[in-house]
Structure 1
Amino acid sequence: MSKQTIVLVVNGTELAFEPNTQAYNKYINELTMDDKVAPAHNYLNRVVADGSKEALAELLKLPGAGLKLAAKVNEQFIPELEISVKN
């Protein structure tokens, strides 16, 4: 599978992410009922492109930014599936 780059513009700053299945699966496995912020930060730091690391670090200081960014990256990364139940 080819490398996918997702570019987000956040508060006027471009951030590039290169998500992959291994990083996504690790993120999902790290999520718990009591901890969602740290796994989101870890995931973003694993998939951020080198040129966006400093900008991401600054944005992650904002409350809720990690969760919003992870959701937006995953919205673009995860394929749409049409699922139906056949009886």
Structure 2
Amino acid sequence: MSKKEMPPSANPYLLPLSILLAGAMIAGAILYTRWPERSPAGGAPPTATAPTASSSGESRDLMVDIAGAPRQGRATARLMLIEFSDYQ
């Protein structure tokens, strides 16, 4: 590339340096998010606890009145998923 084609104020190293800087930032972000958690200063590392079962583990049938509720699919389906959500 000759000097006639390049604007006088353009730095030829600006684009390669910006690409390297962006790559270093992306690599740093990946390493930062995948780095193992550190324990708080002066404290013991957190220990995992096993979840406790609140029920006896037996399954039971529940009857839910869905008359007039919006649904998708057949009304006589063997399995029905009910989703509860809170918009706010």
| Common fold: TM-score over 0.5 | no
Q: TM-score, normalised by structure 1?
A: 0.20
Higher helix share: 1
Q: TM-score, normalised by structure 2?
A: 0.20
Higher strand share: 1
